[in-house]
Each structure stands twice: as structure tokens, then as C-alpha cells.
Amino acid sequence: MKTRAARRSHAVVFEIEPRNSTLPPIRLPEVNLKKILVPIDFSEPSRKAMQYALSFARQFNAEVLLLHVMEFAPLPTSASPLPIIQDEMTRVTLRESAAKQLAEWRNEIGAHVAVKASVRDGVSPHAEIVKAATDGNIDLIILGTQGRTGLAHLLIGSTAERVVQHAPCPVLVVREREHDFVTSQKETSTRSKT
């Protein structure tokens, strides 16, 4: 190892020669992922989050849980049970539709990763996501965000932001437009053919 003074500053520069290039080993903590939760709203950012989760699942041999939350306001109390029955029928129809869409997404994945799918309904999506993470003993939540700003963010709020604040585990937020370090299976197969 050589030391020398830097030319334009008062700093000292250490140069490591090739024969001295090995540094003492640093013990890093082990990452142990067993369960990954991916909230799905059937948007492109949630599909992108699913691709990240699948990559982590393959590397760590983890299980992926796809979760769709149907947001419903509490039913108003009324003297006639007819509106409540109609609303419940609508809820069942929407739940079945969401379950079919989740099954389609799950079938696209294939058999190389253990994937479960679940549909929940609740008043607030972030609360249901946090509850699912707590109940399922989830190690990591990976979710996509639409990246709303300004008035839309103020009025609608950010589910991702609330999940980050209240989650019982680490959260990876995948934005719609960003530098990706995970490529989809379609991109990988296209690159290998060329």
C-alpha cells in the first residue's frame, strides 16, 4: 500500500497494489426471505412489482402472495334490506371478477415459483395490506405506485406511502418510470434469442 498527498487538496490518497488488493472479510447479515406480499391493482406498476417479487422469490426460494384489495365504504343502515342485498350481490360479483384476474396473472407465472392469490375487501386498501402482512408473517412487501403528485396525491392519497408508514416489515416501492434492475421474463427470452 502506498500513500501520497493529493495534488490539489490537502487530502491523503491510499493506493492498494494488486498483491495487497484483498481486504479483510466483512461479515454481512444474511437475508432470509420466505414470504413476499405483492398488492395487485391490475395496473402496469403492480405487474412490474410482481416481476420484482418473482425475481426475489427465485433467488431466495420464497413464496409470493398476490393480494387484491377491493375498497368498499361501510354499508349505510336502512329500514329496507333490499339495497344491502343488491350491494352484497355487486360485491360478490366484483370479488369473483378480481379472483379470475388474479388467477390469470398467477397462471402467467408458471410453476417455478410458489404463488398464492387472495382477494380481500375493506374500507382502506393500505390497512388491509398491512393486516395481510401481519397475519401472514410476511418478510417483504413489494408494491407498485402510480406516482401521483399535486392535487391527485392530496385528494386520493398514496396507498404506497401509508403502507410504508405502517407495515410490519420492509417495503420495496416500485415506481412506474425508474431505472430497473429486474427484467421481465419476456425481455430475457427475447434477448437470449438474439
14-72 pLDDT, tens digit per residue, is 666 666 556 667 777 788 899 999 999 888 888 899 999 999 999 999 999 999 998 87
Angle at alpha carbon of residue 15, lines to 12 and 17, rounded to 5°: 165
Residue 80: how many other CB atoms lie within 10 Å:
7
Structural domain contains residue 11? no
CB 42 within 8 A of CB 51: no
Mean pLDDT of the region 130-141: 96
Residues spanned by the domain of 107: 30-193
Q: Judge whether 13 lies within some domain.
A: no
CATH of the domain at 173: 3.40.50.620
Nearest in space to 176 (alpha carbons), one of 143, 144, 149, 151: 144
Place of cell 405506485: 145
- Read off the pLDDT band of 73 (50, 70, 90): low
pLDDT on residue 93: 82
pLDDT at 146: 72
Query: What pLDDT, on the 0 to 100 scale, is given for residue 107?
Result: 81
In a domain? residue 8: no
Q: Is residue 2 part of a domain?
A: no
Q: 129 near 142, Cβ under 8 Å?
A: no
Paired with 2 in beta bridges are 15
Sorting pLDDT into bands at 50, 70 and 90, what band is 3?
low
Distance in angstroms (rounded) separating the CA atoms of residues 142 and 179: 16
- The pLDDT tens digits for 77-129 are 555 454 555 567 777 788 888 889 888 888 888 778 899 989 998 888 899 99
Q: What is the pLDDT of residues 136-177, one digit of tens each?
A: 999 999 998 875 555 444 444 588 888 999 999 999 998 877
Which distant-in-sequence residues (6+ apart) come within 8 Å of 175 by Cβ? Answer: 45, 144, 145, 147
| Residue 15 located in a structural domain | no
- Residue-level pLDDT at 19: 60
DSSP string across 122-155: ES-HHHHHHHHHHHTT-SEEEEEE----HHHHHH
Domain count, the chain: 1
The three-class DSSP label of residue 46 is helix
pLDDT for the residue numbered 112 = 80
Residue 22 lies in a domain: no
In a domain, 7, yes or no: no
In a domain, 174, yes or no: yes
pLDDT for 106 equals 83
